[in-house]
Amino acid sequence: MSPLPSRDERRAAGEAARARVPVGTHAGWRPAPGRADPVALLEEQAATRIPELVPIRYGRMAVSPFTFYRGAALPMAADLSVTPNAGLVVQLCGDAHLSNFGLFASPERDLVFDINDFDETLHGPFEWDVKRLAASLVVAGRTRGFDEHGVQHAVHRSVASYRTRMAQYAGMRAMDVHYSRVDVAGILAYVDKRARPFLQQTVKSTHHHDALHELPKLTGVDAEGRRRIVDHPPLITHHHEATPERIAKALAGYRDSIAEDRRVLFDRYELVDTALKVVGVGSVGLGAFAVLFLGGDEDDPLFLQVKQAEASALERYLPPSAQSSHGARVVAGQRRLQAASDILLGWAVGTLGRNWYVRQLQDQKGGAVVEAMTLDDLATWGELCGWALARGHARSGQPAEIAGYLGTDKAFDHAIGDFAVAYADQNERDYAAFVAAIKAGRVAAESGV
């Protein structure tokens, strides 16, 4: 049996990859000949979604170039598939834009900063996540009207954060990398004082987001004295497919996917009600159900989100997952990338053969409010995203190889920054084509929802 490569040997392999695929090749962006129509790709996705919700998805994407970018993971995956990569594979988030990072409570009830969306997770080239994150900063910064030079500097800071953190993880023992976290105490000590108020407000807001806080917002008591989720069409509705009986059958399979001690906890709650709850931008149109459970008392609620999982948008361009279902793929990817995952994270295959994953609907979660950010806030959030992404990639890939490829200079930072600016230009062209398709009646969009 051959010995495992040492860190020095892995770093040398990364340096060899840098010689084969220089970091400068990542700079810039030009659409490939015969590039797929981005609107057509979105229409293909709509074919498997709940038809009455697709116009809501399009309406949300039409708000700005940034909301369009959030929903356009598939068009960007098509574009990334023809860009250079060094052959260094990690577990990709698959949709690593800045709004898919945030704060949430660890099982020990500490707040940590990490990736928080995994619908598109799959094994693939590490550069894909870095490029999607970097371009999202430019798109968001332009949407906010920030100075272009300042936005580019924010991108360089984010990529530099990824590079320098990866170098740190490259020198650590594998067990130490696995246990490393980006916690709130470390964040507040690290960030620039000008961005600290924004983060402190995000932390304060996050502490209030839990099941007990959501109970009066999402539910009411009916005429028979039963606690029920309140309909707010079209965003929250009691859907004909989501009967308590059908959900209960799906959750029986879910129960088998969680650890035995979590099953003991889950069994302390009784299913009370379920409703379709529209969430996000890119996910709109997929099944996403809020499921209310109660313990023995009214002050002991549990909300689970049962969310449909389809094939990753990346799977058209990368080898498919080895997991048994797309719900299992999402759960496995989340566990590989996150420092601490939801204790009730699991998956199931429904009675109609659809794939699902399950997590708590609210468990002290807080994200980026881009509309409230200053340029300093954007740059700091980007640095934190780069840090968390490096930690996830280091856990799931070979940090010494990636660090060897990135090097110690700023060449990679500037190459990705150049790509991000060029791709933000492409996103604006795609957004204009999308809005034109709405105006022409090619696709139907419902605004203001």
Query: What's residue 188's pLDDT?
Result: 74
Query: What's residue 363's pLDDT?
Result: 58
Tokens matching residue 7: 């860190």
**Contact 110/182 with Cβ under 8 angstroms?**
no
Backbone angles phi, psi at 277, to 5 degrees: -130, 110
Query: Could you read off the pLDDT of 281-302 as tens digits, one per residue?
Result: 888 989 899 999 999 888 899 9
Please give the Cα distance from 271 to 16 (Å, whole number). Answer: 55
Query: What's residue 2's pLDDT?
Result: 80
Query: What's residue 210's pLDDT?
Result: 66
**Contact 3/394 with Cβ under 8 angstroms?**
no
| Geometric angle at alpha carbon 394, from 126 and 417, rounded to 5° | 45
Query: What's residue 195's pLDDT?
Result: 67
CA distance readout (Å), 81 to 35, 304, 319? 11, 35, 12
Query: What's residue 225's pLDDT?
Result: 85
Please give the Cα distance from 359 to 342 (Å, whole number). Answer: 7
pTM: 0.94
- Longest CA–CA span in the chain (Å) reads 71
Query: What's residue 297's pLDDT?
Result: 84
Extract the residue ranges of the chain whose pLDDT is less than 50: none
Neighbour count for residue 205 (Cβ, 10 Å):
15
Query: What's residue 208's pLDDT?
Result: 60
Tokens matching residue 422: 């060029």
